[in-house]
């Protein structure tokens, strides 16, 4: 990779098919990109559905990556990977095979058509902040450390499925 590297956090999740294997496949796909290095992976969490609650529970995790891509190019790569792994965007907050969100991109604040960084709703979602706290506890988002967001949003309905950060290998 080039010298201009940015650390970014990605949130991944899904609730259809063999969800754990789908997430493993997505992480592996990301890890094999020449312009993305997976630095760390959170524990794997089982989480209740959010927004639209009449669907199966989700599995969620977060990744810390380093990339030479711009935020827009990283988003496009994530959307391409989602599509290659069967993602169909049929219903907002609906069931899905895989989902990849850019949670933060360095310290950049971006508000463009189709790209908002930091992710605008992540500090409302325990299913994002709990796994993000595994890999980036001291990162400050909206004036507060991720670990504090995770503690404030703690949800007993969120269960750790796999403790090891190498569950995807």
* pTM for this entry: 0.93
Instruction: Sketch the domain layout of the chain as residue ranges.
Output: 6-162
pLDDT(141) > 60:
yes
Q: What are phi and psi of 160, to 5 degrees?
A: -80, 125
Cα–Cα dist 136/95, whole Å = 27
Pick the CATH number of 6-162 from 3.30.70.560, 3.40.50.300, 2.40.10.220, 2.40.30.10: 3.30.70.560
- Tell me the average pLDDT across 91-112: 88
List, in sequence order, every residue forming a beta bridge with 60; answer none if it has no partner.
Answer: 13, 45
The pLDDT, as a whole number, for residue 85 is 84
| pLDDT of amino acid 17 | 92
**What are the DSSP calls for 6-65, one per residue?**
EEEEEEEEE-SSSHHHHHHHHHHHHHT-TTEEEEEE--EEEE---SS-SSPPEEEEEEEE
pLDDT of residue 28: 95
Mean pLDDT on 113-138: 95
Taking the C-alpha atoms of 37, 22, 54 and 88 in order, what is their torsion angle to the nearest 10 degrees?
A: 80
Distance CA 81, CA 36 (A): 13
**What mean pLDDT value characterizes the chain?**
92
Confidence check: pLDDT of 2 > 50 = no
Average pLDDT over residues 23-44: 96
pLDDT digits (tens, 9 = 90+) for 53-94: 888 999 999 999 999 999 999 999 999 999 888 766 666 666
Q: What mean pLDDT do residues 46-57 have?
A: 87
Active site residues: 87, 96, 99, 101
DSSP structure class, residue 116: E
């Amino acid at each position: 990779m080039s010298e201009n590297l940015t650390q970014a956090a990605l949130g991944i999740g899904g609730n259809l098919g063999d969800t754990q294997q789908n997430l493993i496949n997505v992480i592996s796909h990301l890890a094999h990109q020449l312009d993305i290095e997976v630095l760390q992976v959170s524990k794997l969490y089982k989480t209740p559905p959010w927004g639209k609650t009449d669907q199966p529970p989700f599995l969620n995790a977060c990744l810390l990556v380093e990339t030479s891509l711009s935020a827009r190019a990283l988003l496009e790569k994530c959307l391409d990977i989602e599509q290659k792994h069967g993602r169909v965007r049929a219903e907002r907050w609906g069931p899905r095979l895989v989902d990849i969100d850019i949670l933060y991109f360095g310290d950049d604040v971006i508000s463009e058509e189709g790209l908002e960084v930091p992710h605008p709703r992540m500090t409302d979602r325990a299913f994002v902040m709990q796994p993000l706290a595994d890999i980036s506890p001291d990162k400050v988002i909206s004036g507060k450390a991720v670990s504090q967001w995770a503690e404030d949003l703690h949800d007993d309905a969120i269960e750790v499925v796999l403790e090891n950060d190498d569950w995807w290998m």
